[in-house]
Amino acid sequence: MKKYLILSFACLCAGNAMAQTRLIGVSNGSITHGGSYAFSDTLAILYRAGNTNAGTAAEFDADIIGCDTLQRWDTRLGRLNHANREIYHYDAMGRRDTIYKQIYDHTAADFKTNRTLSVTYNANGDTGVFYDYYGVVVARDTYEYNGTVPVQVLHQQYDDTGWVVTGKEIFTYGVNGLERKETYRPDINGIVNLYWIHDYHYNAAGLPDTVIHRVVDAPVRGDTGINRYMYTYDAAGRVIKSETDALILGVYTSAGYIAYTYDVSGQIKTDTVHQRTSTQVKVYSYHTSGEIDTLKVIHDGQVQARIFSYDADGNRTQSAWYEQNGMVWEPIYSSAVRRYYYNTTTSVAAIKKQALFSLYPNPASDMLTVKLSNDAGKPYGMAIYDATGKCISKWQPQAASSIHVIPVHHLAAGTYILTVSNGAERQSQQFVVAR
């Protein structure tokens, strides 16, 4: 059964000119035997003046508004250590069209600019060309669209002899949205020997209630694995149960389920993971800024919690793991600790008041819930982009509801951006798919 590790990302509001809190560094460390904190490195985030496009970085538990360069420093040595510099370029429409990655050379004490990885797109954003660190083309993705949604993606893998491997994805849509996704993966000779299919079913409200994932080993053995994901909703359209079954000897057998409860504001209060031999409960409490301040995990009689600290403006300043000893929370030796540094004093809460929507859980494993903050009767458009800025899917919700649930278990693990627009305004938030 998949589990969630809950982190939090604030709204990435493109084009907003107001002063905003921007993270400029994260110190990573651990708790020592004596309960003190030992920090070993800092990930610094540098910004280009005037850039309001959303930068992304995997495993960031922070607010990133516009990011151009990431550098990792060894605070013990006082210098760059195993640093990668990522420089992002955007086209006239604000889409990220190029990523340059440069590797820090300790010997020369400089970045090697001739080792570049970039992703570029044509004017329609439907073709991506991928390069290795030496500037050699290694892959190409080509999207075919029917209106605004992709119906097919061709993936070509390049080697010294030419384009030898070609895979593809085929998308089928119905009145409620995506109904089938077929993925074909070839071997090194370009022969398709494995593919899998996702079939989506929707309830009367237009929300996905069943997704069947079939792994097909072609052309020899037929079906080799079938999993079924089932979602149950409350009257507000929120998922209250997420269940996973596996087809074994022709019979669906439960692999476990997750049950959700919500507080009066609609935020997740608890999620309980029920497995065959154990149960894990996560209990959430929230800071006045709307971010999580305590994530309590109860498993096999052990109680641990990730506790977040905030300043007076609602900016997250530190997070660490603790375990319960009687009535006292004690730091867990060698557990992860993070401290956060900002370049302005504008509160996170002030930014969040402008958000069109919120999303949870984040990271997500099976589904992502989107809660609209304004009039749900207005026409809303939604789109998902990957970390390079490529559009994965685009649609307009059919149901006139403030809550929308999007299945994401078919997406590869990584960082994505969800964009919501209502005609007059367009905003984006970052989310992570974890496996």
pLDDT at 6: 21
Flag whether pLDDT at 80 surpasses 80. Answer: no
User: Domains of the chain: which residue ranges?
Assistant: 11-433
Query: In DSSP terms, which residues pair with 45 in a beta bridge?
Result: 70
User: Which pLDDT score is estimated for 63?
Assistant: 31
**Rounded-to-integer distance, Cα 75 and Cα 25, Å:** 12
How far apart, in whole angstroms, are the C-alpha atoms of residue 68 and residue 16? 17
Q: Residues of the chain with pLDDT > 70: what percent?
A: 72
pLDDT above 90: residue 332: yes
pLDDT for the residue 217: 64
- Written as one letter, the residue type at 61 is D
223: number of Cβ within 10 Å = 11
Provide the residue count of the chain. Answer: 435
What is the tens place of the pLDDT at every residue in 56-77? Answer: 332 222 333 334 456 677 766 7
pLDDT, tens digit (0-9, with 9 covering 90-100), for 210-267: 989 888 765 444 445 889 999 998 887 788 999 999 888 888 888 899 999 988 877 8
- Structure tokens of 232? 């149950």
**What are the CA-CA distances from residue 254 to residues 124, 270, 409 (Å)?**
44, 21, 17
